[in-house]
């Protein structure tokens, strides 16, 4: 079985999800939305909840509306109400010409200024060319449970440290890396940024999403 890499969750608008070309792959390759030179198989969006059903919520980010499919393992899904602003990380899918997102992470945003920040972020965003995937080695086919647990522990430590160092205008990334004493801290910070757990509010300044 080939290695299944966790794809980057790209920050984008609902309109981009709805209008990009949907490409369905076979085998282990993930389906994706083609947006310029990007192949987006996971998305990271911020939007307001406009309606809610048993296993589905509908969100609007001012560029469009889309449905979010919920599952039992989706954290805090029952706490989401109409009118809430939420961050959604998940996989875009298409069925009968209808686009939707299968949620992986769903979280309510208390500070609604984050949606303004995201809009500014998207307006300045410049997509980089897609890089070819490297061939996986046989040793990497089997997930390392210990390594995954260690990664989660480092993530929690970094989030706690960012909160501690943030006096209001964000935590300096060099201070976070230096004080964390975690080998390869930059890699874990990049993962947290891709997952939407933290944001770089300006160059070199990190903030935890709350």
The domain defined by 9-109 carries CATH number 2.40.50.140: yes
pLDDT digits (tens, 9 = 90+) for 13-28: 999 999 999 998 877 7
**pTM over 0.75, yes/no:** no
Cβ neighbours for 44, distance < 8 A, ≥ 6 positions apart: 9, 10, 11, 12, 87, 88, 89, 194, 195, 196
pLDDT of residue 6: 59
The tokens describing 147, both together, are 């390594």
Q: How confident is the model at residue 153 (pLDDT cuts 50, 70, 90)?
A: confident
The CA distance from 9 to 41, in Å, is: 8
Q: Quickly state the pLDDT bin for 199 (edges 50, 70, 90).
A: confident
State mean pLDDT over 173-196.
Answer: 86
Record the tokens describing residue 185, joined without a space.
Answer: 């801290």
Q: Where are the alpha helices (DSSP H) in the chain?
A: 14-19, 113-124, 145-165, 173-180, 185-195
pLDDT tens track for 27-76: 777 889 998 888 999 999 999 999 998 789 999 998 999 999 987 555 56
pLDDT of res. 73 = 52
> Two tokens at 64?
């469009």
Rounded CA separation 110/152 (Å): 24
Q: 75-100, pLDDT tens digit by residue? A: 566 788 999 999 898 899 998 889 99
Supply 72's token pair.
Answer: 């039992």
CB within 8 Å of 40: residues ≥ 6 apart: 10, 12, 17, 20, 32, 33, 34, 92
């Amino acid at each position: 079985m080939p290695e299944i890499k966790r794809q980057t969750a790209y920050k984008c608008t609902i309109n981009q999800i709805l209008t990009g070309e949907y490409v369905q792959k076979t085998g282990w390759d993930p389906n994706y939305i083609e947006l310029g030179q990007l192949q987006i198989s996971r998305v990271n969006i911020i939007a307001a909840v406009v309606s809610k059903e048993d296993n589905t919520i509908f969100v609007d980010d001012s560029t469009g509306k889309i449905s979010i499919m919920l599952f039992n393992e989706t954290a805090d899904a029952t706490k989401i109400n109409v009118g809430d602003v939420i961050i959604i990380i998940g996989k875009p899918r298409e069925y009968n010409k209808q686009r939707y997102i299968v949620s992986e992470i769903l979280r309510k945003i208390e500070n609604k200024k984050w949606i303004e920040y995201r809009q500014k972020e998207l307006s300045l965003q410049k997509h980089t060319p897609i890089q070819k995937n490297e061939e996986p080695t046989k040793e990497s086919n089997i997930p390392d449970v210990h390594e995954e647990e260690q990664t989660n522990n480092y993530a929690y430590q970094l989030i706690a440290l960012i909160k501690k160092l943030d006096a209001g205008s964000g935590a300096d990334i060099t201070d976070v890396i230096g004080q964390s004493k975690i080998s390869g801290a930059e890699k874990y910070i990049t993962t947290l940024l891709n997952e939407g757990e933290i944001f770089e509010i300006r160059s070199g300044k990190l903030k935890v999403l709350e």
